[in-house]
């Protein structure tokens, strides 16, 4: 497709995002939809990285995945295997997937399957484990492995059965529109969306031909896990943005992610190419007993939500979350969203925000505007302890280095023959 101007190309990308139709179809073992996971491979968050360069929490997540898969029986054996070169590593993004925090995904982990019916593409994400000692924050204790095994053997199959009763799947746009009016921004606050999801699947679960114990366990887990919808939102955002980047022209940001070492972005006009810069450490509030000295650098693919236009980009939608991430109060949230709209091309009419005078969420981060105005996107995030096994120690916000956007614009200018 040929466009007369960059603005025309960007508008075509924007139109695809508006017209997208993500539906949650199923929950399946990762290796059944990601062929590369049939062997000894682990997917990770962020742009490409090697085992040696991973921060301790991401390495801890890898240890947990190896123990979960049964490739090793002890931590020492797992670390020896991981450092041997016998296990392959690749970004989740290279396999139509995304992963929170460490993002570590292995073959037998259940993933949600989201299809963007407007463009026919699918995306995958592991399910949210809840809070406490969890794999995504680098924990790999017996408790973590037991929970992952239960999710594989019980939670995944039960949700799969429930979703199979829905002829078209679950319309995610409808859930997002409901929940944004109830105070969610879909990165740090997902309680309304998680409950809206449970409202849809809960009654179905009660009718399934499974044991009463399984019904009770799954219902309790979904009721207790306030952030359950985050992973669904991540897969939906990935499906939408991958559909939009089928138009490989323009300067719309189509992915943002981090691996603890590098922050990476993609833009529509440069396809699969990553543009990276040194990742920052989140700024925010810490749980009792922890300080910024304990914080790990930022990790995770969850910034795909900000790429879509929610999370930190939609701070005004969730004033209740602002103090949790250390950004003040209502007017600070308003100022943040107003600032974010300055680096976006438009606003998404599908998701009006009541607390923003029903303006739509930010739509289409333009790398040109980021560079021109010197304003980088705000990303809401959890803060992991820099030592594996401890887990989350706070929450805050982080911004990408502007060098990512500068590199992307320079490369696109060269592609168009506009570079000096």
Q: How many CB atoms lie within 10 A of CB 76?
A: 10
| Coil, helix or strand at residue 59 | helix
| pLDDT of amino acid 419 | 61
> Residue 393 is inside which H or E element, if any?
strand 392-398
Task: Tell the CATH superfamily of the 22-231 domain.
Answer: Enterococcus faecalis V583 domain (3.90.1710.10)
- The percentage of the chain sitting over the pLDDT mark of 70, rounded to a whole number, equals 98
Burial 218-256 (b: 16+ CB within 10 A, else e): bbebbeebbbbbbbbbbbbbbbbbbbbbbbbbbbbbbbb
Tokens of 341: 């709209």
Please state, in angstroms and rounded to a whole number, the distance separating the CA atoms of residues 114 and 127: 12
Across all residues in the chain, what is the average pLDDT? 95
3-class SS of residue 166: coil
- Spatial CB neighbours of 96, under 8 Å, sequence gap ≥ 6: 34, 121, 122, 123, 124, 238, 242
> What does the pLDDT read at residue 326?
61
CATH 3.90.1710.10 domain position(s) in the chain = 22-231
> pLDDT band at residue 205, thresholds of 50, 70 and 90?
very high
pLDDT at residue 213 above 90? Answer: yes
Q: What is the pLDDT of residue 190?
A: 95
For residue 1, what pLDDT band results from cuts at 50, 70 and 90?
confident
Residue 2: pLDDT band (50, 70, 90) is: confident
DSSP state of 152: I
Non-local CB neighbours of 387 within 8 Å, separated by 6+ positions: 56, 57, 138, 294
Mean pLDDT of 258-279: 97
Q: Does pTM top 0.85 for this prediction? A: yes
Tokens of 240: 């939408």
Question: pLDDT of 368-414, one tens digit each?
Answer: 999 999 999 999 988 988 998 888 888 889 999 999 999 999 999 99
Give residue-wise pLDDT tens across range 288-347: 899 889 999 999 999 999 999 999 999 999 988 776 666 678 888 899 999 999 999 999
Q: CATH 3.90.1700.10: which residues of the chain?
A: 248-416
| Rg of the chain, C-alpha, whole Å | 20
Class of domain 248-416: alpha beta
CB 60 within 8 A of CB 153: no
Question: Per-residue pLDDT tens for 75-125?
Answer: 999 999 999 999 999 999 999 999 999 999 999 999 999 999 999 999 999
Distance CA 393, CA 253 (A): 30
- If you average pLDDT over residues 244-251, what whole number do you get? 96
Q: Which of 213, 110, 216 is nearest to 163 (CA)?
A: 110
């Amino acid at each position: 497709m040929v466009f007369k101007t960059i603005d025309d190309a960007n508008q075509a990308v924007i139109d695809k995002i508006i017209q997208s139709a993500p539906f949650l179809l199923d929950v399946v073992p990762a290796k059944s939809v990601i062929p590369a996971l049939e062997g000894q491979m682990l997917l990770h968050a962020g742009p490409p990285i090697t085992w040696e360069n991973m921060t301790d929490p991401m390495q801890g997540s890898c240890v947990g995945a190896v123990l979960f898969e049964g490739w090793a029986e002890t931590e020492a054996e797992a670390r020896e295997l991981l450092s041997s070169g016998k296990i392959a590593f690749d970004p989740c993004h290279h396999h139509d997937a995304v992963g929170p925090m460490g993002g570590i995904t292995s073959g037998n982990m259940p993933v949600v399957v989201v299809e963007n019916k407007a463009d026919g593409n699918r995306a995958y994400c592991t399910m949210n484990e809840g809070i406490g000692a969890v794999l995504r924050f680098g924990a790999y204790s017996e408790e973590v492995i037991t929970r992952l095994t239960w999710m594989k053997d019980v939670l995944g199959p039960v949700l799969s059965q429930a979703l199979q009763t829905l002829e078209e799947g679950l319309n995610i746009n409808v859930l997002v529109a409901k929940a944004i009016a109830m105070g969610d921004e879909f990165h740090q606050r997902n309680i309304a969306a998680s409950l809206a999801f449970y409202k849809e699947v809960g009654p179905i679960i009660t009718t399934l031909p499974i044991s009463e114990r399984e019904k009770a366990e799954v219902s309790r887990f979904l009721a207790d896990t306030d952030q359950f919808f985050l992973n669904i939102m991540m897969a939906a955002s990935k499906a939408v943005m991958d559909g939009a980047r089928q138009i490989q022209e323009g300067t719309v940001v189509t992915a943002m992610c981090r691996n603890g070492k590098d922050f990476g972005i993609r833009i529509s006009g440069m396809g699969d190419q990553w543009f990276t810069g040194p990742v920052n450490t989140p700024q925010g509030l810490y749980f009792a007993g922890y300080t910024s000295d304990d914080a790990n650098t930022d990790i995770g693919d969850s910034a795909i939500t900000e790429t879509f236009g929610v999370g930190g980009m939609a701070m005004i939608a969730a004033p209740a979350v602002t103090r949790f991430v250390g950004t003040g109060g209502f007017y600070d949230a308003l100022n943040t969203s107003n600032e974010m709209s300055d680096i976006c091309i438009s606003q998404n009419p599908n998701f009006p925000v009541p607390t923003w005078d029903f303006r739509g969420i930010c739509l289409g981060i333009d790398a040109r505007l980021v560079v021109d105005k010197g304003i980088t996107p705000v990303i809401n995030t959890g803060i992991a302890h820099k030592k594996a096994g401890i887990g989350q120690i706070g929450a805050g916000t982080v911004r990408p280095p502007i060098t990512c956007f500068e590199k992307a614009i320079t490369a696109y200018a060269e592609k168009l023959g506009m570079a000096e």
